[in-house]
Structure 1
Amino acid sequence: MYSEKDFVASTFNLVQSAQFSWEAPSNIALVKYWGKIDNELDFQGNKASQIPANPSISFTLNNCKTITSLSFEQKSSTEDFSFDFYFEGQKKEDFKPKIQKFFERIEVFCPYLKNYHITIESENTFPHSSGIASSASGMAALAMNVMSLEKALNPEMSDDYFFKKASFLARLGSGSACRSVKGEVVIWGHHKDTSDSSNLYGIDFVESHEKFKNFQDTILLVDKGEKQVSSTVGHNLMYNHPFANQRFVQAQDNLTAIKEILKNGDVDSFIKLVESEALTLHAMMMTSMPYFILMKPNTLEIINKIWKFRTETAIPVCFTLDAGANVHVLYPENVKEKVLQFIQNELVAYCQNGQYICDQIGNGANQLK
């Protein structure tokens, strides 16, 4: 296992210029991360960033991804970060504060960045305003490019270190981004029954049964608008939540359970646990103070339709939810045709403008030539 100190780049030889391109996917949590540790300090004695209060496990997606290129040109002044950001070909000044904050968080680990002017060009394979969070895929793609530069400055770096540090850096931009770097199924956060688990980065879970290979995720776009309560605010409301401690214990137990479910190929138990986790996440929102609801009436209509369809057909299809109104419909590849027909016949009517996205399990970030 790596510590924070291990990720401080202390040996590197600057290059004049470099350019890299990576694509990184979104992910969907099966056991949800909700709430951060408030009182943990990093190795410098400062408040630690993005430390999860409970562990999580996610499916990495394949089609919903961010494609990002970074160009580095060495500059004379090293006082400040220097970068331009382009999204889908347009210069975007309003995106820059988040990237500036990310660079400030990772500066101690990547001190070479201030030696370069950086040009960032990014685009999504899914509509930016679709209601699908792009922070995970976006920050993961950004971290992969930063690590490609570091690898160029230190060619002796091992692949294991490369991917662990990339996940570590991505986490400092967006917590769940650390689960979008490598692997079909990723665990993030210290878990009592997973010896190499870490709060600092995600790790591969490689023991999934064949039944969970090529699992499908059709994302029903119920509401593409901006959430009335951001995930950051929602996480913070867990600090004094009356049920927080019980929830954190439940997540530990559910992660233990789902590891066995994924190993054994028990799809029925998978359905029960994943749906319960989704509803628990939203229950935490509804019982915080102040309380809030991110589900929409059409979210509930879809859930009830899925339950009815599963009862009547015995087809193993279930739902999960992120911190929003959209519904992720999960099912094995061998029932894809029947489920897609069901979605088109009965669920599309509850999607905004009839929109949905077909996706499936993927392998994580990929470098582009």
Structure 2
Amino acid sequence: MIAQDFIPKSYLNLPESGQHKWAAPSNIALVKYWGKKKDQIPENPSVSFTLKHCKTITSISYSKKKSSEGFSFDVFLDGEQKEDFKPKIETFFERIEVYLPFLKAYYFKIETSNTFPHSSGIASSASGMSALAMCLMSLERDIIVHSSKDGKTLDEDYLIKKASFLARLGSGSASRSIEGDLIVWGKHQDIEGSSDLFGVKYPYPVHGNFKNYQDTILLVDKGEKQVSSTVGHNLMHGHPFSERRFEQAHENMSKLKAVFESGDFDAFISIVESEALTLHAMMMTSMPYFILMKPNTLEIINAIWKFRENTNSKVCFTLDAGANVHVLYPEKEKENVLRFIKENLVVYCQNGHYISDEIGFGAQPL
């Protein structure tokens, strides 16, 4: 598919008002996306586990306006109006208007909340933009049904792809939060159907070892990052190691395909931890350079390595663009790993806070 496939034909009739509500999860990348081209196109493919409990719940109430001039909306987080959220939504609407030409015809009340604390240091852009995209696609489906004389509606596969496509234009990683449990975003020669435009469900066999995988998120630092992800992505332009990094991501995607099929925990651990450290190595070697890991991030990593060596556990870590540590492990190790976390790792978390999550299966209507 190409971007033009998501531009609709003119609508015959717009409903006066309505409401839609969706929950959409966050996700954690195993192969990292870092660096993007124009229009939120990734420089390399990525693959992620969709999470289950860390999600954003968003509703949109819409009502037709008399004038079609400009975008009209208000945003509320946990019931409190958020003027500082509006510029990002405005930018998002500007990017997607050609694909949803009804946007200026309505006033929108956007109400959102997260199941994880707002100050938890977990980026809510992936879950938030995917939830909003699903609400808007539900509205487009309403419009098509309302305009149809023969009961026509949106094809479900098309709706999901377009929602991922739209979410990507708000936050790249949001393209991977529409579905689950393993999602690929970015064109890769070995993965059929993969696209730079939207995320797709991983299409090949996955060994039982990787079903119901667990992710405990250790909240090392709940503060705002000193360097935004957008700035970090842009620093990959002209980065001395960027081209080799993009090649490495392609290679790791190919390796993971074999790992997912065979169930090889050790190979999985090597790739996932290497990807996490490479992501931060790119930050440390950009110009200007920056460090998002904290001393306690390193303490946790070393403790995980020591625990794995002493117990033959298959626990491992990954990192997003921040200080928090995602501890990944198979479901059968849940009791032992949680005991290890409580006895050895909580001391490195801010206020002892961590979140226990697991693999989930994408956005859900409410």
The bucket for the TM-score relative to the shorter chain is over 0.9
Question: Partners of 1:300 and 1:165 in 2: how far apart?
Answer: 39
Post-superposition offset of 1:263: 1.8
Match of 1:116 among 81, 103, 106: 106
Match of 2:190 among 190, 193, 213: 193
Match of 1:231 among 229, 237, 241: 229
**Matched residue type, 1:106:** I
Match of 1:308 among 306, 309, 331: 306
Corresponding residue of 1:359:
357
8 Å CA contact 1:215, 1:332 repeated in 2:
yes
8 Å CA contact 1:237, 1:289 repeated in 2:
yes
Report whether the alignment pairs 1:154 with 2:144.
Answer: yes
Question: Partners of 1:148 and 1:11 in 2: how far apart?
Answer: 17
8 Å CA contact 1:190, 1:197 repeated in 2:
yes
Corresponding residue of 1:268:
266
Question: Partners of 2:253 and 2:350 in 1: how far apart?
Answer: 33
Corresponding residue of 2:3:
4
**Matched residue type, 2:160:** F
Q: How does 1:30-109 map to 2 (within 5 A)?
A: 30-37=30-37, 48-109=38-99
SS in 2 for 1:65: strand
Corresponding residue of 1:40:
none
**Matched residue type, 1:27:** N
Question: Partners of 2:262 and 2:163 in 1: how far apart?
Answer: 31
Q: How does 1:162-241 map to 2 (within 5 A)?
A: 162-206=159-203, 207-241=205-239
Question: Partners of 2:323 and 2:73 in 1: how far apart?
Answer: 34
**Matched residue type, 1:7:** F
Unaligned segments of structure 2, at least 5 residues? 146-152
Please list every run of at least 4 consecutive aligned residues from structure 1 whose deviation after the TM superposition is greater than 4 angstroms: none
Unaligned segments of structure 1, at least 5 residues? 38-47
Question: Partners of 2:65 and 2:168 in 1: how far apart?
Answer: 28
Post-superposition offset of 1:195: 2.7
- The size of the alignment, in residue pairs, is 357
Deviations for 1:15-58, whole angstroms, at most 9, x for unmatched residues? 11110000000000000000012xxxxxxxxxx41010000000
**Matched residue type, 1:9:** P
Question: Partners of 1:75 and 1:232 in 2: how far apart?
Answer: 34
Question: Partners of 2:33 and 2:263 in 1: how far apart?
Answer: 23
Post-superposition offset of 1:265: 1.1
Sequence identity (%): 65
TM-score by length of 1: 0.96
Corresponding residue of 2:148:
none
Question: Partners of 2:144 and 2:255 in 1: how far apart?
Answer: 41
SS in 2 for 1:79: coil
Question: Partners of 1:7 and 1:58 in 2: how far apart?
Answer: 24
Post-superposition offset of 1:192: 1.8
Match of 2:289 among 267, 291, 304: 291
Post-superposition offset of 1:11: 3.8
Question: Partners of 1:86 and 1:190 in 2: how far apart?
Answer: 36
8 Å CA contact 1:285, 1:293 repeated in 2:
yes
